[in-house]
Amino acid sequence: MAVEVNGQEFRRVRSTSPSSRGTVPARVTGTPKPAAPPANRSQSQSLRARPASARSFQEPIREAVEADVYESDAYNEGSMQYGDEVVLGGEESDGEYIVGEYPEGTHGEVYYDDEPMMYDANGFETAYGAHAGHSRGCANCGEPSCSSCGIGNPFGVDLCHPGGDLPGRQLCICLPSHGWVSVDYLGLFASGMNMPALVSTSPAGTSQSLAGVLPGANVLYGGNDEAFTDSISGIRVRVGLWSAVRPDFGAEGEYFGFAEQAESFERSSTGTPILARPFYNNITGLQDAELVAFPGLVSGKIRVDATSRLDAAAVRFRHILCCSTKESCSPWDCGPIPAQSRIDATLGWRFMQLDESLSVTEDLTSLSPNNPGSFLIEDNFRTFNQFNGMELGFQWIGRRGFWTLDSLMRVSVGINRQWLEIQGSTRIPRDATPMNGGLLAQQGRNIGVVDRNEFGVVPEFGTTLGYQLTERLKLNVGYTGIFWASVLRPGDQIDTTVNTNLLPPAIPTNSYLGPGFTVRETNYWVQGLTAGIEYRW
């Protein structure tokens, strides 16, 4: 639509003389009033304008032509003073304002006193307009740095204003950055579970007294910390919102978990090869073994099963402590590249749960005609750890163009519930009523339940590299690591010291001789790579 020129609306004039045609428009003040408008222009013709927000980003001023200030009502009435500035251009120019009738779709622009109007040597504005508190222009590429550039399209969310411009709104979801959700695949490795030697074998011809006895026997399973050392796959989901009332505050929820891991070992023998379960005999004070398979004496099968499952969740508040914005220029197209750096503090609640078990089962059949029979012996160890505590953390987020890099460090302190259950049973024959006690789980020594609360600490470290695919969608790859101090794991609770007089059926007059059972704590950690996608709205 057409507007009239007056001293209040157009307070700045940029004009050039005919001799400066093809150069960058210059600011002039005090330009004398021309004697009359050009002959080919009507006095009734006016200026057309459009707001700065409609202008394309960094549109160059390619040519400037002669501009004349001519008659208008505002001029005649004296409301426009010499020294005021107005941008005018000829009909054939690519300048800001054109005098004359415009065809539909042709626009000019209006600039006000609070909007800087600077041009570089190539005719580009170095700063104009505003978005999210930052100007959107950029100095030319020959300079060492640029002015503060815009953070909007196509680069995605503004780190310094993640909640958008929400003055006075109590409840609002504003595009594109009022909230976020991310889903990550976790390919992690966990610390291995330690366990003693549980299954052993000896070469054919070994005497019955030495069969399966350490250290001369070969260990088939156990005796190391290699259980659950394979990679584990899981998923992590984070959902968050920024406050509409306090834009620097937000809240997020997080969950990550893994499918249950399972490891098993199974061997069977008709007597050859030799199979045994090694232990330390508390009665003799020597290494010993229970035979699972031995020629002419016993045949059998032994199976070891172990499981592990980790789950975690957190709810935390976020607060932007500080944020800075810089800018450089792209060496490819001289466009602005926003660079931002932000530090957030987080405070919340952390939950973690580790549920593990280990069981050993023997199914034996006697080969002696003088002592026929069958046996089914089980030892079961299960641990359950649950952490609840307060979490304090800091997160740094850096951004340059489409790329982001963030690093986080969090520490949670709280109560670590430790629960341990040890059970054993023996059936003679295998379909009989079970008796209390197995081989390594003995009545009167370690069978029972331990349930206690201990002080716990859970630090977390992580870093993520992101690439902005679209305004709302970002691809992430990174590393994460979590350490959990003072947990119980079933392998550590197996004590291979055995009082053979207490093996079912136990001798009633005998009791365990030796040190009592001690609950053993250890540390647990998971670490590895993550890959996922983040969506903001």
Q: How far apart are CA 413 and CA 454, in angstroms?
A: 11
Integer Cα distance of 497 and 519 in angstroms: 14
Higher pLDDT, 316 or 99: 316
- Give the chain's count of helices (H) and strands (E): 1, 21
pLDDT higher than 50, residue 169: no
Q: 228 or 331: whose pLDDT is higher?
A: 228
Most confidently modeled range among 53-67, 92-106, 327-341: 327-341
Instruction: Let me know whether 468 and 324 are in one domain.
Output: yes
What percentage of the chain has pLDDT greater than the value 70?
Answer: 65
Residue 159 lies in a domain: no
Are both 442 and 520 inside the same structural domain? Answer: yes
Residue 177 near residue 158 (C-beta atoms within 8 A): yes
Mean pLDDT of 36-64: 41
pLDDT above 80 for 86: no
Residues 414 and 514 in one domain: yes
Q: Domain total for the chain?
A: 2
Residues 393 and 453 in one domain: yes
Is residue 358 domain-shared with residue 480, that is, in the same domain? yes
CATH code assigned at 464: 2.40.128.90
- Domain match, 373 and 464 both: yes
> Which of 93, 108, 129 finishes a domain?
129
Co-location of 191 and 272 in the same domain: yes
Chain position carrying tokens 């957030």: 344
Segment 171-187 mean pLDDT:
73
Residue 164 covered by a domain: no
pLDDT tens digit string along 324-333?
A: 888 766 666 6
65, 98, 129 — which closes off a domain?
129
How many CB atoms lie under 10 A from the CB of residue 306?
Answer: 22
- With respect to residue 162, please indicate whether it lies within any of the assigned structural domains: no
Per-residue pLDDT tens digits for 182-216 = 999 999 999 999 999 999 999 999 999 999 999 99
- What integer pLDDT is reported at residue 292 of this predicted model? 96
Domain stop point among 97, 129, 161: 129
**Domain identity same for 377 and 442:** yes
Considering the domain architecture, whether residues 112 and 198 belong to the same structural domain is answered as: no
| 117, 203: one domain | no
User: What are 150-161's pLDDT values in tens digits?
Assistant: 344 445 566 776
Whether 346 and 472 share a structural domain: yes
Burial of 36 (0-12, 13-18, 19+ CB in 10 A): exposed
Q: Considering the domain boundaries, does residue 51 fall inside one?
A: yes
154 lies in some domain:
no
Domain that holds residue 107: 1-129
Asked whether residue 314 is assigned to any structural domain, the reply reads yes
Domain presence at residue 473: yes
Mean pLDDT of the chain: 75
Would you say residue 50 has pLDDT above 80?
A: no
Are 120 and 208 in a shared domain? no
- Does residue 146 form part of some domain? no
- Taking 80 as the threshold, does the pLDDT of residue 336 lie above it? no
The pLDDT tens digits of the residues spanning 230-250 come to 889 999 999 999 887 888 899
